[in-house]
Amino acid sequence: MNIHNFSAGPSILPPEVLEQASKAILNFENTGLSLIEISHRTPRFVEIMNEARMLALELLKLNPNEYTALFLQGGASLEFARLAYNFLDKESIAGYVNSGTWANNAQAEAAKIGNVLEVASSKSNQYQTLPEVKNVDEKLKYLHLTSNNTIYGTQFKNFPETNVPLICDMSSDIFSREINFNQFDLIYACAQKNVGTAGVNLVVIKNTFLQQATADIPNILSYKVHAQKESMYHTPAVFSVYVSYLTLKWMKDKGCIKSLERHNLAKATLIYSEIDRNSLFYGSAKTDDRSLMNAVFYLQDENLEQKFDELCNLEGISGLKGHRTVGGYRASIYNAMPISSVQHLVQVMQKFERMILK
């Protein structure tokens, strides 16, 4: 049976990427060796690392003379702390927009390192809307946002216009839609949604901002050290970088972000239309703030959950359960998700409605 993978992350990867990645495990580019048993200093791997870094900038339409892309380890959670170690101290204040669980976590980590000001928050309405960000104090060291709220399913359409350096956690929507990436001084994303597989983070830094980073921290935390060493300060997560490289190439072959965005919009329209139409379900996030990547929805009658889960199982729908902290359902429809899987999910929701209302 064909399984339709709606997992929020680690999540669906293009079949072409999976196929090439498996080949590389057994026999990497006909070397007779596995990719995961050769040195990361092998010229071909160094080339792959550099190509992947360049491809990331190319897809984001960022000038490689102005921005540096890095593949680092530790998950997006490490970037919560690393960015604060680099740009914040006990004498300075950073602004945080609290738009969801991950945004809240990023803020809490930074508060251990320096001073944090919560510029806006939607915590009081359970993150079902996006907070309005206004009057950003120019003295802030940086302003941190989370572009897509993976758990509650909200997504910023626009970003604040400010002279304060903008830092954005794009873990769950990078490469999914065309925005002006030049407005950010630092972008980071764990790979396990739109970039590749877990084990690596993409970090993109404006060079002028990088210069402001402190050098007075351990090397492993220092963006300057990682940039000087071109992401090879220590052994990179070779396989994860390779999967990212393949995925970035796949995105370029698919027509880059513009074409992926069109595809993502079509999928989101399909699933949200069904959530709104189907009398058994409702969407939780405010309509205008809905995410194109994670559609969060609930059953009107919680008692039907077991029945719907059974039907999903029978119909080959996997990973649809909502985050453990919020329950319900979440259709994660990242770049690699084909529209046919979303169509299938819609049909299953319709079938369920017929079963219940018969």
- Angstrom CA distances, 316 to 1, 68, 195, 309, 319, stand at 7, 41, 25, 11, 10
CB of 50 to ligand PMP, least distance (A): 23
Q: Six-digit token pair at 4?
A: 């339709």
Q: How far apart, in whole angstroms, are the C-alpha atoms of residue 310 and residue 307?
A: 5
Q: Counting beta carbons within 10 angstroms of the beta carbon of residue 100, is it exposed (0 to 12), middle (13 to 18) or buried (19 or more)?
A: buried
Q: For ligand PMP, which residue of 12, 52, 76, 203 counts as binding (CB under 6 A)?
A: 76
CB of 173 to ligand PMP, least distance (A): 8
Whether 193 sits among the annotated catalytic residues: the reply is: yes
* Interactions with ligand PMP, residue window 16-75 (CB under 6 A): 75
Q: Which pair of structure tokens corresponds to residue 152?
A: 């509650």
Among 17, 69, 169, 283, binds ligand PMP (CB under 6 A): 169
Establish if 171 lies at the interface with ligand PMP (CB under 6 A).
yes
Q: How far is the CB of 296 from ligand PMP (least distance, A)?
A: 13
CA–CA dist 240, 19 (Å, integer): 14
Task: Tell whether residue 9 is a contact of ligand PMP (CB under 6 A).
Answer: yes
Within positions 112 to 141, which residues make up the interface with ligand PMP, using CB under 6 A?
Answer: none
Interaction between residue 102 and ligand PMP (CB under 6 A): yes
Residue 282: both structure tokens together:
């409702």
**Candidate residues 143, 190, 238, 320; the one interacting with ligand PMP per rule CB under 6 A:** 190
Do the beta carbons of residue 121 and residue 131 sit within 8 Å?
yes
Q: How far is the CB of 250 from ligand PMP (least distance, A)?
A: 21
Q: Quote the DSSP letter at residue 164.
A: S
| Residue with Cβ nearer ligand PMP (190 or 346) | 190
Q: Which of 141, 193, 206, 224 is catalytic?
A: 193
Binding of ligand PMP by 146 (CB under 6 A):
yes
Q: How many angstroms separate the CA atoms of 97 and 103, rounded? A: 7
Cα 298 from Cα 283, distance rounded (Å): 6
Cα separation, 161 vs 150, in Å, equals 24
Please tell me the distance from the alpha carbon of residue 94 to that of residue 106, in angstroms, as a whole number: 11
Among 172, 222, 231, 240, binds ligand PMP (CB under 6 A): 172
Number of residues located near ligand PMP, criterion CB under 6 A: 11
Work out how close the CB of 103 gets to ligand PMP at its nearest, in angstroms, rounded to a whole number. 8
- Binders of ligand PMP among 208-247, rule CB under 6 A? none
**Residue number, 146 or 244, with CB nearest to ligand PMP:** 146
Q: Which is nearer to ligand PMP, 24 or 190 (CB)?
A: 190
Alpha-carbon distance 123 to 138, whole Å?
24
Write down the least CB distance from residue 272 to ligand PMP, Å: 20
Pick the closest to residue 42 from 191, 235, 203 (CA basis): 235
The answer to whether the beta carbons of residues 7 and 318 sit under 8 Å apart is: yes
Q: Which residues are the active-site residues? A: 102, 169, 193
Q: Residue numbers of the site for ligand PMP (CB under 6 A)?
A: 9, 75-77, 102, 146, 150, 169, 171-172, 190
